[in-house]
Amino acid sequence: MSKIPIWQYLYRLFLMLSLMASSAQAVSADVILTNGSEVAPNIAVLHVKDDGVYVDLEIYVEDIPLFAEMLPIGWSSDFVGGEPEAEQDTNQGYAQAEGRALSIVGSDERALNADIRKVEYRTRINRASPLAGQRDPFSGQIVPSPPKDPRVLFVELFFPFQNSVPKELTIVPPSRDGEPLVTIGMQVFDREVPVTDFSFLSKPAELKIHWPDPWDSRFSAESLNRKAQDGTSTFLYIEPREVRHETLIRLRELAPWIGETFEVGQTLSPQHSALVVNQAASFLISRNPVSIDGKLVQPSNATAKLLELTSQGFQVVEPGKQVFVNNAFIGAILSFSSADLPDQVTVTWDMFDEEISRVATISNDIAGPFFGAVTPAGPQFHWQNHLLQYERASVTQIPVEQQKRQSPAMALISGMISAASLAFFLLCKGKVAKRVSCLTVIVAASATLAFSGYLLELPWNKPEPPEQQVAEDILRSMVENLSTVTLEVSPAARKSELAHIVSEASLGDIATEVERGLAIRTPGGSLATVTDISELELERINPTLTPGGFSTLAKWTVKAQGGHWGHAHMRAVTFRVLAEIIPESGHWKLDGLTVIEARDPNA
């Protein structure tokens, strides 16, 4: 990197620290498309346990009268506007359970008694998307928002089982004549396993409880059941620089393969969890062989992580946390380097037993996803390249010549004037005429050199930094190249590509900064692909010590997407960067890079 005076270095350091202090660095979370039930006016979260059903109920302040029959008199009279109606007999049957209460009816069609554990005014739990009320940048739809009034009446309820555990439960919203009185967003867990994603409870919902294993508990209405239904799933990702074979498998289904036994309701200590992850990684790396273009290949990288299926989908378990076996998974990722897009990839699934008789498959490329399944009768999972217009992205150098201030038309005119003056000089005989024509030749020739851009190359000329628009075009090309560099799957490959657009003296430092600040990763660790670059802005342009170069404080926004374990991750990130770009060997080269900020543009 070119040397700079100490005062200039201190100024840049001060600027960088000031900017970092003024705005926290935060990359946006995944954009989770929702149906709006998670921000419904009323929220009911139900937990089925061995002794009964525990309910956390948030009642929207304006809807309190519509739950009056299940509330103590003092909490509802102010809103009902008079004396409350007579309390309802909670032992009446399902047909009589309709009214101003959230009810749970057992297998015998008798409503369970409700034990109110807590009642208090609160502010609703914020479950809204960071984009709530805004137009989602990927779907184009307005993301649902919660009610403007955040006040709720929080009610903690317990519905105990009486003589025996029921095989079925029916959840009944407040209703009249079969029509719901309120809008409720519902989520149900059976012994920590999410049975639903967030859904609307708009009519009685029948839940069939599978006591031997909560994973198999289901609602009769399929629309209420969670999307993730398979205990074991396998995925192929065909990326620009690699092929990935990924697997999601429940701990209870993996257990016999790694010599473990897990019981329903068991809790794993952090030490036991770490041991299981290591066992799973060592085991899965040698199973389910992968062939690329007919050749059996070995993974260049293999990782495994412990996951929980939660209300937010699959989440990586943080180190040191205890884990419930009921909703625990192993997520394995095997990566295979591929310089070019293959023609065919085949996975031969070889893990079948009494628990694993069918494995869902998904293949993902730029045209996918494509769904399927493998069974003992058909254990092979194929991906065939049908992409007719695929073009491998590559780094392209930015010639300095393209940035010269050239005017071909003026160069042609001045050249013609120079030629005519030279001819006149040779033909005329008067001294004055010769002097005039000679002077004209010199001026016209100089103008020709200037308009053609060659005058800028004279050794005594020190070119100025490019103008604003030209500098913006250079930086945009540089950002596009950097996005291509981040497609490479290894630090060595990324550094090799950077050598085309980075000065030799700064290659090591900039490679490190790209790894730290510009590479966008999914929670599973795979690299996300930049799909759009927008709102590029140069806040200022300053000259560098290298003639013709420029330093700039710039920002831009990217949209990026990536996937792993069957889940698509979409992110928007706004970067703010200090960059130095200089001419070197006829091309523009990056000579300095500091990522000051990477944040959600909506934060």
pTM: 0.70
Q: Per-residue pLDDT averaged across 230-259, rounded? A: 92
CATH of the domain at 496: 3.10.450.540
Nearest to 602 by CA among 95, 136, 38: 136
Residues 155 and 263 in one domain: no
* Pairwise pLDDT comparison (68 vs 444), residue with the higher score: 68
* Pairwise pLDDT comparison (443 vs 601), residue with the higher score: 601
Residues 240 and 358 in one domain: yes
Structure tokens that stand for 407 in this block: 């005017």
In a domain, 399, yes or no: no
Q: Per-residue pLDDT averaged across 40-45, rounded? A: 95
In a domain, 398, yes or no: no
In a domain, 288, yes or no: yes
Interatomic CA distance for residues 595 and 589, integer angstroms: 17
Q: Give the model's confidence band at 420: pLDDT under 50 very low, under 70 low, under 90 confident, else very high.
A: low
- Whole-number average pLDDT of the chain: 80
In a domain, 299, yes or no: yes
- Give pLDDT tens digits for 375-386: 999 999 999 988
In a domain, 400, yes or no: no
Contact 581, 510 (CB under 8 A): no
- Give pLDDT tens digits for 91-120: 444 444 457 889 999 988 889 999 999 999
Give residue 186's pLDDT. Answer: 95
* Pairwise pLDDT comparison (78 vs 229), residue with the higher score: 229
Residues 520 and 583 in one domain: yes
Residues 445 and 561 in one domain: no
Which residue range forms the structural domain that includes residue 298? 232-384
Residues 76 and 125 in one domain: yes
Q: Give the model's confidence band at 4: pLDDT under 50 very low, under 70 low, under 90 confident, else very high.
A: very low
Interatomic CA distance for residues 453 and 411, integer angstroms: 9
Residues 476 and 428 in one domain: no
Interatomic CA distance for residues 204 and 525, integer angstroms: 42
Residues 316 and 171 in one domain: no
Residues 41 and 62 in one domain: yes
* Residue indicated by tokens 């960088």: 16
In a domain, 459, yes or no: no
Give residue 16's pLDDT. Answer: 37
Residues 211 and 105 in one domain: yes
Residues 273 and 313 in one domain: yes
In which element (H, E) is residue 417 found?
helix 408-427
Interatomic CA distance for residues 156 and 148, integer angstroms: 23
DSSP string, 22-61: HS--BPPPP-----SGGG-SEEEEEEEETTEEEEEEEEEG
CA 256 to chain centre: 34
Total structural domains within the chain: 4
Give residue 17's pLDDT. Answer: 35
Give residue 165's pLDDT. Answer: 92
In a domain, 458, yes or no: no
Q: Give the model's confidence band at 448: pLDDT under 50 very low, under 70 low, under 90 confident, else very high.
A: low
In a domain, 42, yes or no: yes
- Which of 396, 424, 452 is the endpoint of a domain? 452
Burial status of residue 308 (CB atoms within 10 A of its CB: 0-12, 13-18, 19 or more): buried
Interatomic CA distance for residues 403 and 467, integer angstroms: 9
Interatomic CA distance for residues 283 and 249, integer angstroms: 13
Residues 490 and 509 in one domain: yes
Q: Give the model's confidence band at 15: pLDDT under 50 very low, under 70 low, under 90 confident, else very high.
A: very low
Give residue 31's pLDDT. Answer: 40
C-alpha distances out from residue 450 to 25, 55, 70, 453, 456, Å? 47, 80, 88, 5, 7
Q: Per-residue pLDDT averaged across 120-128, rounded? A: 90
Q: Per-residue pLDDT averaged across 289-315, rounded? A: 90
Residues 310 and 446 in one domain: no
